[in-house]
Structure 1
Amino acid sequence: MPIYEPAPDGGEAAAAWTRAQAEGLARSDDVVAPVVYPPESEPVSDDVHVWDTWLLRNRDGSVATVDGYRVILSLTAPADMLPGKRHDVATIRYFYSADGTQWHDGGPVFEDGAAFGARQWAGSALLDDDGTVYVYYTAAGHRDAEELTYEQRIAVAGGGRVETDADGLRIAGPFDHEVILEPDGERYEREAQSRGMIYTFRDPWFFEDPETGRTYLLFEGNTPVPEGSDACGGDAERQAFNGSIGVAASPTGDPTDWELRPPLVDAVGVNQELERPHVVVRDGRYYLFFSSHDHTFAPGIDGFDGLYGFVADSLRGDYRPLNDTGLVLTNPGNAPYQAYSWMAFPHGDEILVQSFFNYYDLGGLSLDDVGHLAPEEQLRKFGGTLAPTARLGYDGDRTWVRGTLAHGRIPLGSEELPPLSPVGDRESTRGYGR
């Protein structure tokens, strides 16, 4: 049993994602995913758009199974809503599958009006050892505001259970909701400190460290940069790009008890949004992943919508960018927005990465251009369902794309994956599997 001691604050300095590293970003065979086409099978749901998705996991990070079912939670919005408006009404639904391919819609996780915020953004979900379900989420905006607001707080809903019967699976409440973290204004920027871009304090992700037994919440934040600071050589425009990967620690191991700690990584002068941070531990190394957009990089850096990552020898360790630049997985140049919101999880000797099918068949259009298309064309060009699951190889500070599985494929831990044809000392980056 883990012994819970207060995790050291220690004044540890965050590792920096530097401009020199990010300026080397480039597409190469090792980081580019195959082109995604619409799935031949039915989408996850005909009734809702599905985007940011996460797995119900056990305390040790493994994919939870309940009577043979796997469970995912997703941000959703009505399928007839314009894709660009979906974040304004996002709600969390759950889906379950007995084979990891065909998913059934279980409905909203929470009762109407029970959750904090005007809408709920991404998070994580824990099936604890005693069978209790904890859903961590971002409470975005305020329900009583006359207009959309964007303040973000980190909340947890605890007390749920997973139940199964002959008809399938359900996540049953009632849940007790609690706001557990808010930015302190010193290590993590408050909305009032933001310099124009949407500020971030969101995407809580539960993690139990296998080396120490301590529990943490990772999240996306921003590093406060005071007016007149010499950060970025005094370039005020660059200072507005100040993304960070934050962390809170539990002094007791209680899934509702958290204290802020210094960030793990910051990207001052490099990038504004280090979204949905999470960790995969392999061979004693801590692989820290996050997603980011091309448009959130600071001026002078040409990045991509992609999965990025760092590696260290401990959770608090000295993080180094994977593949020298931090880029792990991106979309091909002729389909730059085909997938987004990647989340990695271990499987056998690989790392698998699930995401959602975003915009496709754009023919060179930018996302701003898409917003000016006729509504029916905007809807046609938005996938709004699960993307093919990517397969990553890894070796120390290097990763590479091995191929993909089918749309939304989440295999059981014991399942063997189809072989890939070797190409030199790397596998084919164009292999598809079941």
Structure 2
Amino acid sequence: MRDAHTPARWTRDHLDRLVEDPATTAGEIGPATPPRVLPEHDIWDSWPVQEEDGSITVVQGAELWMALSAPATGHPEERHDRARIRLFARTADQWRDLGNVFEDGTSLGSREWSGSAIHRPDGTVSVFYTAAGVRGEARPTFHQRVVEARPRLSTVDGVVRLERNVEHRVVLRPDGETYLPANDVDGGPGRIKAFRDPSWFRDPADGREYLLVAASVPWHDRFMGAVAVATSADWTLLPPLVCADGVNHEIERPHIVVHQSRYYLFFCTTRQAFHPAGSAPT
């Protein structure tokens, strides 16, 4: 990556080329539901604990993964108001719950939204996550910033554990100019500005670390979605990698995969986030 670059534009012309057919559309999930990893909880937005080379961290023969979890009660969208990050161990035939990553009341928001996790050579794990809302607030707000915690990974009596008493440090906020502040008091899915979903990436070309973040940039009198990028030189924000050019205001979970010398940027969005709403598929 370069420190200065021209953002790619995701335009209406690109959307007009979309063809919804079996070759490009995931099939519907049938009525036979898979068993729940946690019977009383919803689990979503999973990501692996990775080594710095991008491979999945394996401890005692099991892959380590993180995901958001919340009690499976009420309307499904309300789970975002109670989300916590959990640690899981995955083997070929099962998932094992290893509990919440952080102690109650220690993360910097009223709930924890998606991120990424990197197992460092010193045995710690850099957990980058979105602190949503403010700790102790009376009702959920949508203030978002990127936080890093670095618990130590260990095994105790054969059980994988992450250190509990660790510092949580804000490492990235919107600059208020290129990237709009994500500080809505009221809102909901598809209706709030974004500064969330930090994804760690090491560029094999220069060895530097980057964070990709789902962000919002100015567009006329409104906002549109973008993929922000920051370099590890004090996590300095750079120009966006992608702007949705007025067609979409919520580009989520961005991440890069390098394959055969090409850089593939993945992200997701929903039908309700397009301009106009419903003009392209989830």
* TM-score, normalised via structure 2 length: 0.91
Residue pair 1:241, 1:270 contacting (<8 A) in 2 also: no
The runs of 5 or more residues in structure 1 that have no matched partner are 1-6, 228-239, 252-256, 306-434
Task: Spell out, residue by residue over 1:27-85, the C-alpha distance to the aligned partner (whole angstroms, 9 max, x if none).
Answer: 12322223323667632111311111111111111111112111111111113343221
Paired with 1:184 and 1:37, the residues of 2 have a C-alpha distance of 44
Task: Spell out, residue by residue over 1:133-166, the C-alpha distance to the aligned partner (whole angstroms, 9 max, x if none).
Answer: 1111101111233332111011011133142543
Query: 1:208 and 2:211 equivalent?
Result: no
Aligned to 2:20, which of 20, 23, 27? 27
Paired with 1:127 and 1:158, the residues of 2 have a C-alpha distance of 9
Task: Spell out, residue by residue over 1:240-290, the C-alpha distance to the aligned partner (whole angstroms, 9 max, x if none).
Answer: 351000001012xxxxx4111111000021101110000111110001000
Partner of 1:295, secondary structure, is: helix
Query: 1:72 and 2:65 equivalent?
Result: yes
Question: For residues 34-433 of structure 1, what are the structure 2 equivalents within 5 Å?
Answer: 34-37=27-30, 42-99=35-92, 101-163=93-155, 165-166=157-158, 168-191=159-182, 197-225=191-219, 227=221, 240=222, 242-251=224-233, 257-299=234-276, 302-305=279-282
Paired with 1:40 and 1:300, the residues of 2 have a C-alpha distance of 29
Deviation at residue 192 of structure 1 after TM alignment: 6.3
Paired with 1:246 and 1:284, the residues of 2 have a C-alpha distance of 22
Say if 1:163 and 1:34 are closer, same or farther in 2 by CA, change over 3 A: same
RMSD of aligned C-alpha atoms? Answer: 2.2
Paired with 2:22 and 2:198, the residues of 1 have a C-alpha distance of 32
Say if 1:285 and 1:8 are closer, same or farther in 2 by CA, change over 3 A: closer
Alignment size in residue pairs: 278
Residue pair 1:25, 1:302 contacting (<8 A) in 2 also: no
Deviation at residue 130 of structure 1 after TM alignment: 2.0
Query: 1:17 and 2:10 equivalent?
Result: yes
Deviation at residue 193 of structure 1 after TM alignment: 9.2
Paired with 1:39 and 1:127, the residues of 2 have a C-alpha distance of 36
Say if 1:242 and 1:179 are closer, same or farther in 2 by CA, change over 3 A: same
Deviation at residue 300 of structure 1 after TM alignment: 7.5
Say if 1:46 and 1:292 are closer, same or farther in 2 by CA, change over 3 A: same
Paired with 2:114 and 2:102, the residues of 1 have a C-alpha distance of 14
Residue pair 1:242, 1:272 contacting (<8 A) in 2 also: yes
Partner of 2:134, secondary structure, is: coil
Residue pair 1:69, 1:98 contacting (<8 A) in 2 also: yes
Q: Residue 404 of structure 1 corresponds to which residue in structure 2? A: none
Paired with 2:182 and 2:96, the residues of 1 have a C-alpha distance of 38
Paired with 1:193 and 1:109, the residues of 2 have a C-alpha distance of 26
Paired with 1:40 and 1:248, the residues of 2 have a C-alpha distance of 39
Say if 1:296 and 1:248 are closer, same or farther in 2 by CA, change over 3 A: same
* Equivalent AA in structure 1 for residue 166 of structure 2: F
Considering only CA atoms, is the larger Rg found in Structure 1 or Structure 2?
Answer: 1
Paired with 2:214 and 2:150, the residues of 1 have a C-alpha distance of 22
Partner of 1:224, secondary structure, is: strand
Paired with 2:220 and 2:34, the residues of 1 have a C-alpha distance of 52
Task: Spell out, residue by residue over 1:346-376, the C-alpha distance to the aligned partner (whole angstroms, 9 max, x if none).
Answer: xxxxxxxxxxxxxxxxxxxxxxxxxxxxxxx
Task: Spell out, residue by residue over 1:375-411, the C-alpha distance to the aligned partner (whole angstroms, 9 max, x if none).
Answer: xxxxxxxxxxxxxxxxxxxxxxxxxxxxxxxxxxxxx
Paired with 1:40 and 1:145, the residues of 2 have a C-alpha distance of 36
Say if 1:301 and 1:25 are closer, same or farther in 2 by CA, change over 3 A: farther
Task: Spell out, residue by residue over 1:71-104, the C-alpha distance to the aligned partner (whole angstroms, 9 max, x if none).
Answer: 11111111334322111111111111232x3001
Deviation at residue 225 of structure 1 after TM alignment: 2.9
Partner of 1:159, secondary structure, is: coil
Partner of 1:280, secondary structure, is: strand
Partner of 2:170, secondary structure, is: strand
